[in-house]
């Protein structure tokens, strides 16, 4: 019989190698996550000799088969990330955008037309996007560096892209198409997504807030920035 203590120590070492960062956006990083899953199974397979119970734990590895320590709040820290915090994060990134060399050059002697698509919510959480995107528009308006694309045209394009939001955010060609349709020189688009990071003894969930500015002329993103806001962290226990 395989020594149970040695097996559990081997499990711990294998799990140490399985630290990961998972992007939970629909359709995002599926290939990478599949590769990670394959690597985990390869690492854990030799340890199955310990018996059915240990084999069950090893097989599922660093994915869902963990026991969460639900004892008092000292083990679970909930972060107060509300709409105001997300909005403040997004607005703070505008300062970086305005300081960008290409943006300063473009706005030095003229006011180019900007299409503000704003943040897209790729989480299942309820987020007041109207308020957050409204705050972005307000701050941009105060800067007096841009004119804005026609809101009627933007509403029409928003309807057209509502089934392909991930493509719009990730693909510069799609962003260029939208900017061209509303006769804008630049497109500002962003996202709110969940990022889950696990380690052998801890799981952390973050909001990732990203903004990107696309130049319609070149069809390329000339600026982008992201911030991560810790939503929660939890100690976890691997084992039987």
Domain 78-234 has CATH 3.40.50.10610: yes
Report CA-CA distances (Å) from 167 to 41, 191, 195, 216.
Answer: 31, 12, 19, 17
Nearest to 22 by CA among 33, 14, 13: 33
DSSP state of 51: -
Please tell me the pTM assigned to this model. 0.68
pLDDT per residue of the chain (240 residues) written in tens, 0 to 9:
445 455 455 545 544 544 445 566 655 555 555 555 555 455 444 444 343 333 333 333 333 323 333 344 334 445 678 999 999 999 999 999 999 999 999 999 999 999 999 999 999 999 999 999 999 999 999 999 999 999 999 999 999 998 999 999 999 999 999 999 999 999 999 999 999 988 888 899 999 999 999 999 999 999 999 999 999 888 887 644
Domain ranges of the chain: 4-65, 78-234
- Under a CB-based contact definition with an 8 Å cutoff, are residues 96 and 81 in contact? no
């Amino acid at each position: 019989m395989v020594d149970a203590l040695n097996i559990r120590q081997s499990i711990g070492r294998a799990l140490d190698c399985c630290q990961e960062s998972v992007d939970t956006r629909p359709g995002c990083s599926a290939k990478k996550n599949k590769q990670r899953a394959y690597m985990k199974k390869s690492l854990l397979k030799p340890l199955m000799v310990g018996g059915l119970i240990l084999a069950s734990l090893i097989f599922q590895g660093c994915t869902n088969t963990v026991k969460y320590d639900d004892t008092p709040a000292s083990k679970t820290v909930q972060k107060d990330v509300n709409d105001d915090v997300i909005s403040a994060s997004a607005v703070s990134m505008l300062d970086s955008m305005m300081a960008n060399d290409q943006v300063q050059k473009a706005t030095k002697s003229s006011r180019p037309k900007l299409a503000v698509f704003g943040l897209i919510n790729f989480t299942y959480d309820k987020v007041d996007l109207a308020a957050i995107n409204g705050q972005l528009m307000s701050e941009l308006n105060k800067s007096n560096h841009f004119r804005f694309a026609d809101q009627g045209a933007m509403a029409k394009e928003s309807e057209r892209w509502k089934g392909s939001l991930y493509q719009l955010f990730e693909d510069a060609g799609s962003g260029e198409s939208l900017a061209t349709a509303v006769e804008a020189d630049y497109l500002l688009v962003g996202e709110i997504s969940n990022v889950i990071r696990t380690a052998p003894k801890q799981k952390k969930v973050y909001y990732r807030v990203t903004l990107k500015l696309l130049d319609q002329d070149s069809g390329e993103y000339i600026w982008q920035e992201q911030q991560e806001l810790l939503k929660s962290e939890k100690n976890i226990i691997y084992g039987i």
